[in-house]
């Protein structure tokens, strides 16, 4: 089963009644990593009025969540930010919304909307990836088939980890477990059974970019 996670970090900023809300989000695979991200953001903006954290660690039935209002009125910052984060379907993600107070009070409803909107903005910019079970393999192919096999790797959602050019081409590849058999069949057809797939490693928690994303 694939699990959607951040594929990197993202930032977004909105301004509401002169208050700046700077939202940052990043992958975090433990509570310690999420807290370290919060400390990094605090150090980057030491003079800010508030640093509101929210994180979701894990997926499915094994999830740890946390949020804090960090001095904002109770329930106006952390909870709405976490609700938006949970609604995104992402796991293993940490976010911090930094506020610079602009001198105009926003009220309870205004704060809820501001922190919710800031979270939505950063999530819209956040690249996505999957945490999935993968298998790394190697295969040796003749030069004339290289482009066709590169295409077969792509069509099956695989990654080319390395290409070694000698008398033939040795490819190091990574596939989601469920895609490997289809690639093997394609390789057999393209090489008329002359190329072999050798398994060199397995990873139950590999990070793979989502199809169509960069």
The answer on 110 and 17 residing in a single domain is: yes
Identify the domain boundary among 90, 111, 126: 126
| Same domain flag for 117 and 89 | yes
Same domain, 12 and 78: yes
- The reply to whether 66 and 31 lie within a common domain is yes
What is the domain extent for residue 96?
3-126
- Tell me: do 77 and 156 sit in the same domain: no
Please write the tens of the pLDDT for every residue from 22-39: 999 999 999 999 999 999
In total, how many domains does the chain have? Answer: 2
Domain boundary among 126, 148, 180: 126
CA nearest 96: which of 169, 37, 149, 150?
37
Shared domain check, 168 and 134: yes
Question: Is 214 within a domain?
Answer: no
**59, 3 Cβ separation under 8 angstroms:** yes
Phi and psi (nearest 5°) for 73? -55, 140
Instruction: Report the chain's mean pLDDT, rounded to a whole number.
Output: 94
Tell me the whole-structure pTM to 2 decimals: 0.79
| Residue-wise pLDDT tens digits, 38-89 | 999 999 999 999 999 999 999 877 899 999 999 999 999 999 999 999 999 9
Are both 113 and 144 inside the same structural domain? no
Task: Decide if 55 contacts 95 (C-beta within 8 A).
Answer: yes
């Amino acid at each position: 089963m694939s699990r959607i996670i951040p594929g990197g970090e993202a930032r977004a900023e909105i301004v509401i009644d002169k208050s700046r809300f700077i939202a940052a989000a990043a992958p975090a695979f433990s509570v310690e990593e999420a807290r370290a991200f919060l400390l990094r953001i605090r150090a980057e903006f030491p003079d800010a009025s508030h640093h509101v954290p929210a994180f979701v660690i894990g997926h499915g039935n094994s999830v740890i969540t946390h949020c804090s209002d960090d001095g904002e009125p109770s329930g106006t910052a952390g909870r709405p930010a976490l609700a938006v984060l949970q609604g995104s379907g992402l796991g293993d993600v940490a976010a911090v919304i930094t506020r610079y107070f602009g001198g105009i009070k926003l009220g309870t409803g205004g704060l809820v909307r501001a922190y919710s909107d800031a979270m939505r903005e950063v999530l819209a910019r956040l690249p996505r990836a999957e945490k999935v079970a993968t298998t790394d393999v190697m295969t040796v192919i003749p030069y004339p088939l290289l482009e066709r096999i590169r295409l077969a790797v792509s069509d099956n959602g695989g990654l080319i980890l390395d290409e070694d050019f000698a008398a033939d081409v040795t490819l190091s590849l990574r596939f989601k477990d469920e895609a490997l058999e289809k690639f093997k069949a394609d390789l057999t057809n393209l090489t008329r059974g002359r190329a072999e797939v050798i398994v060199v490693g397995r990873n139950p928690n590999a990070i793979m970019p989502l199809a169509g994303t960069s």
